A and B are shown apart, each in its own frame.
Chain A
Amino acid sequence: MTRSWRYLLPLTAVPVLALLAYGFRVNPRDIPSPLLGRPAAAFVLTAYDGTSMDLAALRGKVVVLNFWASWCYPACYEEAPVLERGWRAYRDRGVVVLGVDIQDKDEAGRKFIGDFGLTFANGPDPAGKVSVDYGVYGVPETFFIDRGGSIRVKHVSAVTDQVFRETVERLLAEPVPAR
């Protein structure tokens, strides 16, 4: 190697080091969902209060589908009041909030609902089929489904009042699709 060329040797390491530095900017646990813009998978669950939760029947309404668990602390505990407030504020405007309790025990789930005074439909997903159908990999995750039945937003981690309000308003403003 001629004299000057070899001092470029250290530069060979730079791309690798830069790649590792890039790693600081990404969160390895943050998986983008391929379901955005696609039709939400249909399901029928039985809520804790015995009523039926049928997504297909809710076509035409904006649906906020929230996956949670009683052992998911503190995030699910933070967003439960947010969802309840959102439900009460928007239920008359064609918005439905559904909660799905995954990998949990019934008693713990019911206790959670009772503690937070949740009035929107909440049911367990016993075999985990619905959660896998929605590509859920952790809790909490919330899906905002538009009137046409397509998933528009996936929110990972606790939902805030602002996120709820802005997303729901945006979806409500869209025209009702022809049947």
Chain B
Amino acid sequence: MMRASAPGVGNPGAGGRRRLLSRQPAVLGLVPVLAAATLLLGALPATAQGGPAPSEQQVYEVASELRCVVCQNLSVADSPSEMAGQMRAIVRERLASGQTPAQVRQYFVGRYGDWILLAPPRRGFTLLVWLAPLVAVLVGLVVVALLVRRWTRRRPKARPAIDAVMSERIRQELEREP
């Protein structure tokens, strides 16, 4: 690993810490300002991205939640097959006649079963699959937390006493490492 050649060559030494401290307030102050700016800007309407007419976008959104029955694992929105085109037309017609996306989805579920939905419903048994990632992360974090606790407790208590100035220099050099 890279090391500075010798303490004191071309580095600010102990004075550097003070310099950083004096810069701090300004730099630290910038963060909340920028954060606030981001939030405020979030209130501005984003410029339109262009694309299909709103109702086409709605058709696309509903269709992308339905499974194409002939091509396996593609959505009705994406599938190039004829049946998918026909299903898209049905979605378009039903949305145009005033049905809500939920009603259109329900129409298909009534004929094909829950299988036609590309994302399983968030209730009942299928709620399990939605919870899986949360459970996995939580279990992982708990295990890691327990391990970390066990490992940090194992630290040997006795440490040779080091001169304060030497300790400071060592710390600075270690931190200058890439």
Contacts and interface: CB of A to CB of B under 8 A. Distances in A.
B118 interface: no
B83 interface: yes
B111 A127 contact: no
A69 B35 CA distance: 61
B87 interface: yes
Given A129-B90, A132-B90, A138 B69 contact: yes
A31 B115 CA distance: 8
Among A35, A131, A132, the one with the most B-chain Cβ atoms within 10 Å of its Cβ is: A132
A127 B69 contact: no
* Interface size class of chain B, counting residues whose CB lies under 8 Å from the partner chain: 10 to 19
Interface of B: 69-70, 82-83, 86-87, 89-90, 108-113, 115
| B-side interface mostly | helix
Interface in A107-156: 127-129, 131-135, 137-138
Among A129, A133, A135, the one with the most B-chain Cβ atoms within 10 Å of its Cβ is: A135
A15 interface: no
A33 interface: yes
A35 B112 CA distance: 8
A32 B113 contact: yes
Nearest to B81: A103
